[in-house]
Chain A
């Protein structure tokens, strides 16, 4: 079931009403209801993978208990290794098996050896990367004695499969979400209204911005050889807006939905296109994934504490792995390494934390220097998106070569996208004004209710008018 589907408009109110009709002290029943709803939500895609989700949940639940209850360090370590191996084994099989077999076959053929590269037609279970990482973080935290495992299976299963975050995050931590699941929740008017506002903003970003930009960017990326340099550059910029609208829109809807049920999920985006350098970008883009890799991979590898060479190695590893997490394609690895290379100078010069605050803090407009830094960062990120979006490395190179052409200075091909550009400007304008908030509608500036409600109605109508059926979220494929 998609957030932007008709069935979700029936599903959500039904679950919401049932959930709050249950007495406040019956948190156990609320959790059971949410768990059933979450499995139903997931089963609407493909019920066959409910078994895999349940198995993964059971595995991590019992691994957590076993690690916690083990007396010896060896037994704890064995429990951890078993859980990690099985979890990553599933991920490797469903997501990367074909990639490894094909890459191996290609390698052999480069050496003049014939290899059969026909692989099994494995269907990727939706959300597998997300719920596997939920489970892994739980097991790691228990092993590191940061969390005491829950003995309530329903609570743990809900932590893994809570429907707003099940298919595309944010990647939650047990330390953050489990306590919220365990304690009674009361309905808060302001929180629920804020949740609806955030959902509306998310729908606007997905339906109007992302799907609108996709209509422009998709044909260009499908056949880059047919377009001028300027059109290719504009196509890449549209994709940059598309992926931002798509993923941050999804996250806004997820966070807003969770808030309707009294939960606060981890913030996943913090206006990343207002970043002044790549390090700041990665503190603002897909925050839950970046922090996951930082905590469970970068720091255990030694982080930046082992000298320059080790820092370089660890930085490149974390970015390459993060890229590979997105999908079984060399383009994602190249995208990860590209960002790693952009990040390295900052970390080596110890300047990766020079832009901690918000751009133009306390001012309406950025300084010339800040505007230049933001523009440069956006360009670097957009070049990276070409690697991310291209079907393969050859196409990415072809795309980049197409941009680096004299036709870059010609008029780009565009037709009927003026309205879309106005909406993009509207989105970034509002986000700029509200860049210190959790989301742009958190502190609504339009004081009069009539103006506020008109704004909400306007956004709702825009979403309905621009709605296209079956437009999946990009991150569902990961």
Chain B
């Protein structure tokens, strides 16, 4: 038995050592893909911070891959920054990450994907680990012990994935939909706008046992207080959503909407309003192509005008 335990311990130590080395190896891919754009979004938020109140859109890829910020800017006569990136970074991270950039008079429009309201995905997953390790290590300071505990489970997998042979795209390669260069000066990913939609599997039917996570609600309530303290304003909007997925997920979305209302969060539209035809989606239930982006941007403009006449 002792021999077995000793051998297992040696093997486990070797494996951990290998993974530790792999974890801190440079990752040429992540700095060139959409996650690498986090640094650019920080820069955009910093640069626009001195030019007066802004509209800051925040959320996952439903925001980065589903809005025309320029159109909103023209209609609202206010600079617009699209700070959304990827849902897998988790709502906790992207709301915390945004805090230092919020200025007096800013209008913060929070649009989380529905997955952020239930399970514990608002803590982020493997994409957040890759951002913390390979995009901006300074972000590690934002992560508390509870969130680290949650992220621990992804670290070995991320470390091992770095051992796969991968290369950064060639400098003269065309810009891909999920490249860092796929974002315009407002922070909107735009390469896919004129592409046709790709067939994808809609969200599965909601399970009866799915419940809204009270921690996600608390996170939003705390963020709202923070925004208020900064003399800025916050509103909450539902994401644009694929109609077939909406039908499948409706019972859960209703629960989410009820919970948002019960927590007195400033939601300014019902989920149904942002349900768009399947034909205007790109490759997931949240990413839009041009007709969808135009429609959704109009809806956002109408809702913001109504909320802030």
Q: B14 within 8 Å of A by Cβ? A: yes
6 A-B residue pairs with Cβ-Cβ distance under 8 Å, sorted by A, are A193-B7, A457-B18, A461-B19, A461-B160, A464-B156, A467-B160
The verdict on B50 contacting chain A, using a C-beta distance below 8 Å, is: no
B1, A457: Cβ atoms closer than 8 Å:
no
Interface size on A, residues (CB 8 A): 22
Contact B1 A187 (CB under 8 A): yes
B185 at the interface (CB under 8 A from A): no
Within 438-478 of A, Cβ neighbours of B (below 8 Å) are at: 453, 456-457, 460-465, 467, 469
A461 to B158, CA, bound (A): 10
Whether A464 and B4, one on each chain, are in contact in the complex, defined by CB atoms closer than 8 angstroms, is no
- Smallest beta-carbon distance B210→chain A, Å: 14
Q: A6: CB under 8 A from chain B?
A: yes
- Complexed CA–CA distance, A168 and B199 (Å): 33
Question: Is A391 interfacial (CB-CB < 8 Å)?
Answer: no
Which of B14, B157, B199 has a CB less than 8 Å from the CB of A465?
Answer: B157
The smallest C-beta distance from A232 to any residue of chain B, in angstroms, reads: 16
Shortest CB distance A190–B (Å): 10
Instruction: List 8 additional contacts besides A192-B4, A453-B14, A464-B160; criterion CB under 8 Å.
Output: A187-B1, A196-B8, A219-B201, A222-B201, A226-B199, A453-B11, A460-B15, A465-B164
Tell me whether B139 is interfacial, beta carbon within 8 Å. no
Q: Is the Cβ of B7 less than 8 Å from the Cβ of A456?
A: no
Of chain B, the residue at the smallest CB distance from A192 is B4
Instruction: Name the B residues within 8 Å of A219 (CB-CB).
Output: 199, 201
Q: Contact between A457 and B14 (Cβ–Cβ < 8 Å)? A: yes
Cβ–Cβ < 8 Å partners of A193 in chain B: 4, 7
Q: How far is the CA of A462 from the CA of B14 in the complex (A)?
A: 15
Are the C-beta atoms of A20 and B1 separated by less than 8 Å?
Answer: yes
B166 to chain A, nearest CB (A): 11
Q: Mark A235-275, 1 if CB is under 8 A from B, else 0.
A: 00000000000000000000000000000000000000000
**A80-133, CB < 8 A from B:** none
Interface residues as binary, B47-72 with A (CB distance below 8 Å gives 1, 0 otherwise): 00000000000000000000000000
A196 to B153, CA, bound (A): 21
Which B-chain residue is minimally distant from A13 (CB atoms)? B8
Question: CA A20 – CA B15 in complex, angstroms?
Answer: 25
A219–B201 alpha-carbon span in the complex (Å): 8
CB closest residue in chain A, given B161: A465
> Which of B11, B163, B199, B201 lies in contact with A461, CB distance below 8 A?
B163
Q: Does A368 contact B (CB under 8 A)?
A: no
Residues of B within 8 A of A196 (CB): 8
Q: What 0/1 pattern do residues 17 to 42 of A give for CB contact below 8 A with B?
A: 00010000000000000000000000
Report the nearest B residue to A7, measured CB to CB: B153
The distance in angstroms between the C-alpha atoms of A469 and B153, with both chains bound, is 10
Which chain A positions have C-beta within 8 A of B159? 464
In the assembly, what is the distance between CA of A6 and CA of B153, in Å? 7
Residues of B within 8 A of A6 (CB): 153
Q: Is the CB of B11 within 8 A of A464?
A: no
Interface hits, A160-206 → B, CB 8 Å: 187, 189, 192-193, 196
Asked if B4 and A187 make an inter-chain contact with CB atoms under 8 angstroms apart, the answer reads yes
Is B3 within 8 A of A467, CB to CB?
no
**Cα–Cα distance between A465 and B163 once the two chains are bound (Å):** 8
Instruction: State A222–B93 Cα separation when bound (angstroms).
Output: 35
Contact pick for B11, options A223, A456, A467, CB 8 Å = A456
Complex Cα–Cα for A189 and B22 (A): 31
State how many angstroms separate the Cβ of B110 from the closest Cβ of chain A: 26
| Minimum distance in angstroms from B200 CB to a CB of chain A | 9
Q: Which residues of A contact B3 (CB under 8 A)?
A: 189
Within 8 A of A (CB), among B158-181: 159-161, 163-164
User: Which B residues touch A226, using CB under 8 A?
Assistant: 199
Least Cβ–Cβ distance between B194 and chain A, in angstroms: 22
State in angstroms the CA–CA spacing of A408 and B183 once bound together.
41
A471 to chain B, nearest CB (A): 13
Distance in angstroms from A179 CB to nearest chain B CB is 24
Task: Determine whether the beta carbon of A223 is less than 8 Å from that of B164.
Answer: no
Instruction: Report yes or no: A467 in contact with B157, Cβ–Cβ below 8 A.
Output: yes
Closest 10 CB pairs of A and B: A464-B160, A465-B160, A465-B161, A6-B153, A461-B160, A187-B1, A467-B157, A192-B4, A464-B157, A464-B156
For B164, what are the chain A residues with a Cβ–Cβ distance below 8 Å? 465
Cα distance A457–B19 when bound, in Å?
Answer: 10
> Are B4 and A189 in contact, with the CB atoms below 8 A?
yes
Assembled-state Cα–Cα distance A464/B161 (Å): 7
Instruction: Give the complex CA separation of A460 and B8 in angstroms.
Output: 13
Which of the listed residues A219, A457, A462, A464 has the most CB atoms from chain B within 10 Å of its own CB?
A: A464
User: Chain A CB within 10 Å — which of B159, B160, B164, B201 has the most?
Assistant: B160
A186 to chain B, nearest CB (A): 10
What residues on A are CB-neighbors of B160 within 8 Å?
461-465, 467
Residue of B nearest to A464 (CB): B160
Residues of A contacting B161 in the complex (Cβ-Cβ under 8 angstroms) = 464-465
Chain B residues with CB under 8 Å of A456's CB are 11
Chain A: minimal CB distance from B285 (Å): 15
Provide the bound-state CA to CA distance between A222 and B204, in Å.
13
**Minimum CB–CB distance for A315 against chain B, Å:** 39
A467 to chain B, nearest CB (A): 5
Residues of B within 8 A of A460 (CB): 15
A457–B163 touching, CB < 8 Å: no
A469: chain B residues at CB < 8 Å are 125
* A196-B19 Cα distance, complex, nearest whole Å: 20
Chain A residue numbers with a CB within 8 Å of B157 are: 464-465, 467
Looking across the interface, which residue of chain B has its beta carbon closest to that of A5? B153
A47–B194 Cα gap in the complex (Å)?
49
- Which among B8, B153, B157, B163 has the highest number of chain A CB atoms within 10 Å? B157
Least distance between A60 CB and chain B CB atoms (Å): 30
Residues of A within 8 A of B125 (CB): 469
> For residue A453, which residues in chain B have a CB less than 8 angstroms away from its CB?
11, 14
Complex CA gap A219/B199 in Å reads 9
Contacts of A222 in B (CB 8 A): 201
Distance between B219 CB and nearest chain A CB, rounded to angstroms: 22
Q: How far is the CA of A461 from the CA of B159 in the complex (A)?
A: 9
Shortest CB-to-CB span from B278 to chain A, Å, is: 14
> Which B1-44 residues sit within 8 Å CB-CB of chain A?
1, 3-4, 7-8, 11, 14-15, 18-19, 22
CB nearest neighbor in A for B125? A469
Chain A residues, CB < 8 A from B8: 196
Q: How far is the CA of A461 from the CA of B4 in the complex (A)?
A: 21
CB-contact partner of B199 in A189, A192, A223, A467, under 8 A: A223
Q: How far is the CB of A383 from chain B (nearest CB, A)?
A: 25
In the bound complex, how far is the Cα of B4 from the Cα of A465, in angstroms? 26
B15: contacting residue among A192, A223, A457, A465, CB under 8 A: A457
A223→B22 CA distance, assembly (Å): 39
A192 to B156, CA, bound (A): 25
What distance in Å separates the Cβ of A278 from its nearest Cβ neighbour in chain B?
34
Residue of B nearest to A222 (CB): B201
In the bound assembly, the distance between CA atoms of A469 and B121 in angstroms comes to: 12
Question: What's the minimum C-beta distance from B10 to chain A, rounded to whole angstroms?
Answer: 9
User: Measured between alpha carbons, how far is A167 from B30 in the docked complex, in Å?
Assistant: 39
CB-CB under 8 A from B199, the residues of chain A are 219, 223, 226
